[in-house]
Structure 1
């Protein structure tokens, strides 16, 4: 099966990192990521690109307006937090239209529209201690298998920990945050003695606050330096 060469265009760095993370789990070759469509033009003009992940709302030019300027269109997967662009996407005959926050199963479904057969997901080998890519959480007498990517953030309150997830909502367990921290992959960052966030879900950072999906969380002074060291490596 041919490996698809793709680029990611999105003005939000966390959104680019999330898509890149998903691409690395399947047969996609990310040859570039850009915060503006205009920045991507030189690469598009000099290389054959099979697929573009394209955000819609961007400052310089919208993804839809940029798409209309392309003479030769590769496969296009639009990404946005706004449902109202669905009709525009349909009229432009794009491959798919993904609503943020994008979940991996939905991402995979979009890719399978391009590939002739379902792509095979493989586990990251760079972090062998997390090779299963999930954590088991026992809450309210139920045992949940929670993928790391599904966790938005983890909050500690005295002797209890709450996993805030996309699929299961809030899962409360008895335990210490420092013990859970040892089981988490490198995308999880401590921002406060009571909070660990999944950096893949950062929407933006402003001052000492970080927005995870719709939840503004405070970066404490003790973790501020470490947080921005991580942030600057993205």
Structure 2
């Protein structure tokens, strides 16, 4: 005799509201869906309050940069302690990334300015031009870009989906790739500041020091697909 399987009411409601979209995007266990496969209502352009009219595109439940010129996009809300999870798929030789603890401030002299933040690097480690010039892995996928390389890394090649996660609690940050923690560091630590003094962010006074900030997807002019983006406040 076959045993009847019980399906939680939450998932039944989810499939009615979002047919065809994986249940991992459901708002459960404290997660807030940032990209539901259809709408960018929780995002805006870096230089505007609205979402870019060109560049970025949504199709088949995925978000991707169809052409350059859309510019970076960031969440409308700011986040402090958080756990961000997402999936990404690279095209051959593509480059992108996810920044966090970024902000737009207003200066009376120059107007808006951007406070930059740490980056979860997303790049085709196998085919990106110049990747072999980075023997320390500071620019490879899931690295804290130009700060901390990876350990125990498994990256699926272009055309295949990868899962990523960023956990920020206080000053401690960790990067995850395909279920494994690959980077762990502390913002504002002596080691962090020493590394900053030796890379291109040395003159960014507030880099990585904000208590909260926006999540940002970079526009490097390359096509990288994203889906299942959600966040939990810790």
Q: Same fold (TM over 0.5)?
A: no
When the two structures are superposed, what TM-score results if normalisation uses the length of structure 1? 0.26
TM-score (norm 2): 0.26
Where relative contact order (Cα < 8 A, 6+ residues apart) is larger, the structure is 2
